[in-house]
Structure 1
Amino acid sequence: MRVQILIIVSLLSALSWLVAFDSSRDLYRMAHEAGVIPNLHIKHHLRDVL
């Protein structure tokens, strides 16, 4: 019985982590496209070129 509870809790934990990761990735992309978060890699490469 305890093994079943452990498996269920582990699966629920993994599922909640994946949902949180996916939603935070989508929010980051939306903020980046809106210009709220600048792309620091592009600025770094432009600074090196100029």
Structure 2
Amino acid sequence: MLTSQLREMEDDSLGQRVIYPVVPPKVDYFITDLGKRVVPVCLALRDLGLSL
């Protein structure tokens, strides 16, 4: 489930995946600039939900 969510965020340009050619496989995920811009909106929606 986590992998599918991370891939979906990557497809939406909210996150970036870096694959390292090592054994065992290593993958890192980073938030993109667009992803950083979405954070305040997500927090506002969270706060709205908590206030209901």
For normalisation by structure 1, the TM-score amounts to: 0.35
More strand by share: 2
Computing the radius of gyration over CA atoms, which structure comes out larger, 1 or 2? 1
- Pick 1 or 2: higher relative contact order, CA cutoff 8 A, min separation 6: 2
More helix by share: 1
